[in-house]
Chain A
Amino acid sequence: MSPKQIQRKKAILLDTTRCVGCGACYQACQEQNGQLRPSGDFLNEDLGARTFTVVNNRSGRYVRRMCMHCEVPTCVSVCPVAALEKTAAGPVVYHDRKCIGCRYCMQACPFNVPRYEWTSTTPYVRKCNMCAARQAKGQATACATVCPTGATSFGDREEMIQEARRRILAAPDHYFDHIYGVQEIGGTSVLVISDVPPEQLGLPTRLGNEPLPELTWNVLEKIPTAVACGGVLLSGIWWITNRREEVARAEGKKKRS
């Protein structure tokens, strides 16, 4: 086994009760991705081709928005050329050399995360890659490194889930008892805890716990059967109608002779 395969799966834990909306994550993210620019209005900004995380005010809580790095990512499943990949360590990464620019990933993402370089003539899809390069060096993500309050923390996924449980147990009055991302659409690598239910944070809650790619795979897996049955059926119909015609022709000849 290569060291990559035994790498433990990582996760980011977001705790909205600890977030003070300072924007350190936003700034560090831009610094990490070489997108640094005079301070933007991260509280009112939306994700963009050069903005992989923002802090939005949802129901009076500061809530970070970023790629959730799903365990069974919808974007990875829909990409026709496999330009998106779920790595063993957790990050969903993008291979821009493969991308044809169909933007199905953007259409399909249940969290509405991937962004496009609309103004470019050679546009690429852009989103958070969970600092895959830093992770490969054994470092935490940029956002977790700089967060001054522990609202964003990084570690092994199992440990992060334990930590979230610990926090909820230690202060049950302060938390809504649910860790978003443990089960939602098959689980995500970004976990969220808060003092309010996840729907109030703008997180989709009606998609169930089955990964969305199942929805299409249920249909796609039937294709070989459909082709086989269809082929036999169509050939059969052709054979019958053809035979019927041959018989009719032969009988016609007989009558004439």
Chain B
Amino acid sequence: MKTRLQLPQITWWRIFLLAVMSVGLYSTYLRFAHGLGASTALRDGFPWGLWIGFDVLCGVALAAGGFTVSAIVYIFHSERFKPIVRPTILTAFLGYLLVIVGLLFDLGHPWRIWHAIIMWNPHSVMFEVAWCVMLYTTVLALEFSPMLFERLGWKIAYKTVHRLTVPLVIMGVLLSMLHQSSLGSLFLILPGKLYPLWYSPWLPIFFFVSAIALGCAMTIFESFLSYRAFRKRLEIDLLADLAKIMAVPLALYLLLKFLDLRGRGVLHLAWEPTYEGRMFLLEIIVGVVTPLVLLLFRRVRYDEFGIFVIACLVVFGTVMNRLNVATTGLEGYAGRYFPSWSEFAVTAMIIAMGFVLFGLAVKYLRVFPAEELRAAGEGLPELPVVTALRRPLTSPALVVLVVAGVLAVAGSGLAYSAFSGRPSDGSASSGTLLPDISRGVTELHLSDVDFISSPDSPGKVTFRHGSHVDFDRPACADCHSGRFSMLSRSSLEGVDMHDEQHCGACHDGQKSFSVTDDCSSCHGN
């Protein structure tokens, strides 16, 4: 009998995906079956790690394209950008869903994620973020829903939501403005802990401005990937304009950062050869200064590879910034933190889920206008890197390649020096000097304890703390560790005090005279 099964095509990407998913699922099992301690490098001094730093902080920032592009199109009426609204809304919606997934991993009691709905604390930034994320995910779901209604043929629902577009967009922008900045405000309460290069009263402003830049960068990034993966036309002129728009928040960010550091008198810390200083320079030079310089060249802006590199740099810079605020900047205070493999695995799985869901949406919904998709069968254009290598002198990609190469070398040098200057484990430095307790000992008042005598007792026993305590080292805990209660007089009635649990513990003939030696040593004194 011959039955031919239609197996999905095996590609390297799918094998890779399968591997990421399996390791991720195993880590998920570790996390939920054995707890956070078994699955993460988190500890009491370092309660937030990669899952908050990347999955939540970066996740929300990377989804900023949703409000940036919809504001450009619907509020500023730049209708030219309309073709990229749907994919960015989709990216944002998936982004927020995955942020919630990441949060479910990180929360100690994930099944109580809804608590903030009924248990209020308006003084908490986290409370505000929780509400904004809930509301904005709903807004994004509504903004995304027309794609679904259209596919299902639900015309009334489609029209209803479509009519709500502008109010939804305004709500979305307001909510984003609030929580993008509030993610920065989360760290305002750590003045003594976060390294001064990142701790600033302007944190909320920095988080918001960089989110706008990142929103543009992610849109470019995601357009480029769609162009490679789904054979979509690349709207290079649109993206070049978006890149130009991006230059505004990016430059503003750099300016504000400079003013802030100088105003607080900590600018010099950036040049110091410390772990923090290097990580900060890496973030600013690679993620802000370089893309700004590259954006000055029209030829780079209009080059598909050039614009992709710019977008990647901005994404890198912002991701690094969020991780620096959430982890690097706290290492000086709380000691080293490096995520465990399972933290990486879960994060990789969540990213992979994002790609798979985006792919499925493109396959089953009209994410891109039909005319944007090239006819199937038409080959992909060759990779820009290959083009650049073949025609090295005529391609603007050369500029980008050279800059990227120099950066890679400089960056790895910086990273290397950063890691070699990493703070060691922040174990509390306890003085080796043995404390002088002479003053304390004069205050020492220890009462005598009269034991109850049994009828056959040779005489009453009074326990004298004075003769049992070493006054150079009065270690109460040695005897009071459960054997003799300190808070409530434990009843010793009917207890044989001679046994190993009581007097016999020390009066054994070795540590001290034995309970069987001479009764009058204790009894009747």
- Judge whether A162 is part of the interface by a CB distance below 8 angstroms: no
Do residues B108 and A99 form an inter-chain contact, with CB atoms below 8 A? Answer: yes
A106–B125 alpha-carbon span in the complex (Å) = 15
How distant is the Cα of A19 from the Cα of B177 in the complex, in angstroms?
Answer: 52
A247 adjacent to chain B (CB < 8 Å): no
Residue of A23, A37, A118, A124 most packed against chain B (CB within 10 A): A118
Contact indicator B75/A238 (Cβ below 8 Å): yes
- Nearest 6 pairs of A and B residues by beta carbon: A101-B108, A118-B37, A23-B477, A39-B481, A60-B433, A241-B77
> Are B170's CB and A20's CB within 8 A?
no
Nearest chain A CB to B524 CB, angstrom units: 27
A115 at the interface (CB under 8 A from B): yes
Would you call B43 an interface residue if the criterion is a C-beta within 8 Å of the partner chain's C-beta atoms? Answer: yes
Jot down 19 A-B pairs with beta carbons below 8 A, ordered by A: A19-B435, A24-B480, A47-B44, A62-B435, A80-B127, A82-B121, A99-B108, A104-B186, A108-B190, A146-B476, A146-B487, A150-B443, A212-B189, A213-B123, A219-B182, A234-B71, A238-B75, A238-B166, A238-B170
A135 on the interface (CB 8 Å rule)?
no
- Which of B126, B173, B182, B204: most chain A CB closer than 10 A? B126
Once the chains are docked, how many angstroms separate the CA of A27 from the CA of B486? 8
Write the B149-175 contact mask toward A (1 if CB under 8 angstroms, else 0).
000000000000000001000100110
A6 at the interface (CB under 8 A from B): no
Whether, in the assembled complex, A56 has its beta carbon less than 8 Å from a beta carbon of chain B, the answer is yes
> What interface size band does chain B fall in?
35 or more
Which chain A residue lies CB-closest to B132? Answer: A223
Q: Which residues of A contact B124 (CB under 8 A)?
A: 77-80, 82, 104
Chain B contacts for A27, CB-based, 8 A: 476-477, 480-481, 486
Is A235's CB under 8 angstroms from B170's CB? yes
Please report A residues at the B interface, Cβ cutoff 8 Å.
Answer: 17-24, 26-28, 31-32, 36-40, 42, 44, 46-48, 56-62, 74, 77-83, 98-104, 106-108, 110, 112, 114-116, 118-124, 142, 145-146, 148-151, 174, 202, 204, 206-207, 212-213, 215-217, 219-220, 223, 226-227, 230-231, 234-235, 237-238, 241-242, 244-245
**Residue from B36, B77, B434 within 8 A of A123 (CB atoms):** B36
Which of B109-117, B245-253, B282-290, B400-408 makes up part of the contact surface? Answer: B109-117
A106 close to B487 (CB less than 8 A): no
Query: Are A60's CB and B435's CB within 8 A?
Result: yes
With a cutoff of 8 Å between Cβ atoms, the chain B residues found around residue A24 in the complex are 476-477, 480, 486
Residues of A within 8 A of B115 (CB): 80-81, 98, 100
Q: Which of B37, B109, B201, B440 contacts A119 (CB 8 A)?
A: B37
Report the bound CA distance from A121 to B127 in whole Å.
Answer: 24
Alpha-carbon gap, A23 to B486, bound state (A): 11
| A219 in contact with B77 (CB, 8 Å) | no
User: What residue in chain A is nearest B170 (Cβ atoms)?
Assistant: A234
The verdict on B385 contacting chain A, using a C-beta distance below 8 Å, is no
Question: In the complex, are the beta carbons of B38 and A57 less than 8 A apart?
Answer: no
* 0 or 1 for each of B356-383: is its CB under 8 Å from A? (1 = yes): 0000000000000000000000000000
**Interface positions of B (Cβ within 8 A of A):** 32-38, 42-45, 47-48, 71, 74-77, 106-110, 112-113, 115-116, 119-130, 166, 170, 173-174, 177-178, 182, 185-186, 188-193, 201, 204, 334, 428, 430-431, 433-437, 439-441, 443-446, 473-478, 480-482, 485-487
Q: From residue B198, how far is it (CB to closest CB) to chain A in Å?
A: 14
Q: With contacts A39-B477, A223-B128 known, what are 8 further pairs, Cβ within 8 A?
A: A27-B480, A31-B486, A108-B190, A116-B36, A122-B108, A146-B487, A216-B125, A216-B189
Given contacts A146-B487, A234-B173, contact A98 B119 (CB under 8 A): yes
Partner of B109, one of A101, A112, A215: A101
Chain A residues with CB below 8 A from B430, complex form: 44, 56-58
B365 → chain A closest CB, angstroms: 27
Q: Which of B35, B109, B431, B436 contacts A118 (CB under 8 A)? A: B35
Q: Which residue of B lies closest to A125 (CB)?
A: B108
- Residues on A with C-beta less than 8 A from B44 are 46-48, 106, 114-116, 118
Please give the distance in Å from A50's CB to the nearest CB on chain B: 12
Q: Smallest CB–CB gap between B192 and chain A, Å? A: 5
Which of A47, A62, A121, A122: most chain B Cβ within 10 A? Answer: A121
Contact (Cβ within 8 A) A62 B437: yes
Contacts of A22 in B (CB 8 A): 474-477
**Would A18 and B119 count as touching, CB distance under 8 A?**
no
The answer on a CB contact under 8 Å between B444 and A149 is yes
Roughly how many angstroms separate A9 CA and B324 CA in the complex, as a whole number?
A: 41
Residues A102 and B192 in contact in the complex (CB < 8 Å), given A118-B42, A123-B35, A238-B170: no
Q: Report chain B residues within 8 Å CB of A103.
A: 47-48, 108
Asked whether B476 lies within 8 Å of A19 as measured between CB atoms, the reply is: no
In the complex, how many angstroms separate the beta carbon of B239 from the nearest chain A beta carbon?
22
Cross-interface CB contact of A104 among B38, B126, B334, cutoff 8 Å: B126
Query: In the complex, are the beta carbons of A80 and B440 less than 8 A apart?
Result: no
Are A107 and B443 touching (Cβ within 8 A)? no
- The reply to whether B35 and A38 contact each other, CB–CB distance below 8 Å, is no
Contacts of A48 in B (CB 8 A): 44
Nearest to B439 among chain A residues (CB) is: A17
B204 CB contacts on chain A under 8 angstroms: 219
What is the CB-to-nearest-CB distance from B321 to chain A, in angstroms, rounded to a whole number?
18
Residues from chain A with a CB closer than 8 A to the CB of B482 are 31, 36-38
Q: Which of B74, B128, B439, B478 contacts A39 (CB 8 A)?
A: B478
Q: From residue A205, how far is it (CB to closest CB) to chain B in Å?
A: 10
* Given the contacts A60-B433, A62-B437, A107 and B108 also touching, CB distance less than 8 Å: no
Q: Are the C-beta atoms of B35 and A149 separated by less than 8 Å?
A: no
Would you give the shortest CB distance from B412 to chain A, in whole angstroms?
Answer: 31
**B470 CB, nearest partner CB in chain A, Å:** 10
| Given contact pairs A100-B113, A116-B108, A207-B192, A234 touches B446 in the complex (Cβ within 8 A) | no
Decide if B437 touches A102 in the complex (CB within 8 Å): no
Instruction: Give the distance in Å from the alpha carbon of A204 to the alpha carbon of B428 in the complex.
Output: 14
Task: Name the A residues within 8 Å of B477 (CB-CB).
Answer: 22-24, 26-27, 39-40, 42
Cα–Cα distance between A213 and B109 once the two chains are bound (Å)? 25
